[in-house]
Amino acid sequence: MIIHILAGGPEKNIPSLRPYDQKDVSWVGVDHGVYRLVNQGIIPIAAFGDFDSVTKKEWEDIRGHVLEINQFKPEKDETDMELAFNWAVAQNPSTIRLFGATGGRLDHFMANVQLLLRKESLHPSLKIEIIDTNNIIHIASYGEYTVEKLNDKKFISFIPLTADVENLTLKGFKYPLTNRNIPLGSTLCISNELIQSQGTFSFTNGILMVIRSQD
């Protein structure tokens, strides 16, 4: 099962959803993201939020199309995205992709990144990505990974999220590494590029944020 979640981030940061709207995908809307889905003819299987960012007409459209609406008071312990994310994880999907989760308020963006750092998010059977028009972000715990070259997002960065990422090795990259320890706060692995159709990265301890980007 693949679940795509659309939140209410700035429209300019949201890529075209049609390439991601495949028959094996279930959509979930968050707050104004629910209306955006409905407006594009994509009916989410569930909606979450306090819906304080939608107009009366948009709310009527949402209620007329979406069967499962989970409405909450603005005063709550979780963000709207967190509520939708928790629901998605409970469905035991193979993949969760978050759209509309970047741009605008930095506190919302950082909160969304924090969701990827949860223990359940790091389970090897679950792939989670944050996608916008210029970036694809995912979190990797220690292990070995293969990455494919993306012509539209040629830059790839590795950002340590723990005190030490140990023995990072990059193969097939313009700037290779062999068993290098990367401390928290290092910018050593920013803006690398693949020079082959695919490459590998591996490390023996720690957590990395992996960002595929375009200018």
pTM higher than 0.85, yes or no?
yes
CA distance 31 to 99: 13
Q: Retrieve residue 70's tokens.
A: 């989970």
Q: Could you give all domains of the chain from N- to C-terminal order, each with its CATH number?
A: 1-133 (3.40.50.10240), 134-215 (3.40.50.10240)
The pLDDT tens digits of the residues spanning 182-215 come to: 999 999 999 999 999 999 999 999 999 999 999 8
Amino acid at the residue 17: L
pLDDT at 75: 85
The pLDDT tens digits of the residues spanning 96-153 come to: 999 999 998 899 999 999 999 998 899 889 999 999 999 999 999 999 999 999 999 9
pLDDT at 94: 96
The pLDDT tens digits of the residues spanning 40-65 come to: 999 999 999 999 889 999 999 999 99
- Residue 170: pLDDT band (50, 70, 90) is very high
Q: Retrieve residue 125's tokens.
A: 């059977």
The three-state (H, E, C) secondary structure of 169-197, written as one string: EEECECCCEEEEEEECCCCCCCCEEECCC
The pLDDT tens digits of the residues spanning 66-96 come to: 999 999 988 888 999 999 999 999 999 999 9
pLDDT at 109: 94
Residue spans of alpha helices (H) in the chain? 32-39, 56-65, 80-90, 106-115
CA distances from 109 to 9, 14, 38, 112, 129 (A): 9, 14, 24, 5, 13
Q: Is 126 helix (H, G, I), strand (E, B) or coil?
A: coil
When pLDDT is averaged across residues 29-38 and rounded to a whole number, the result is 96
pLDDT at 98: 98
pLDDT at 77: 86
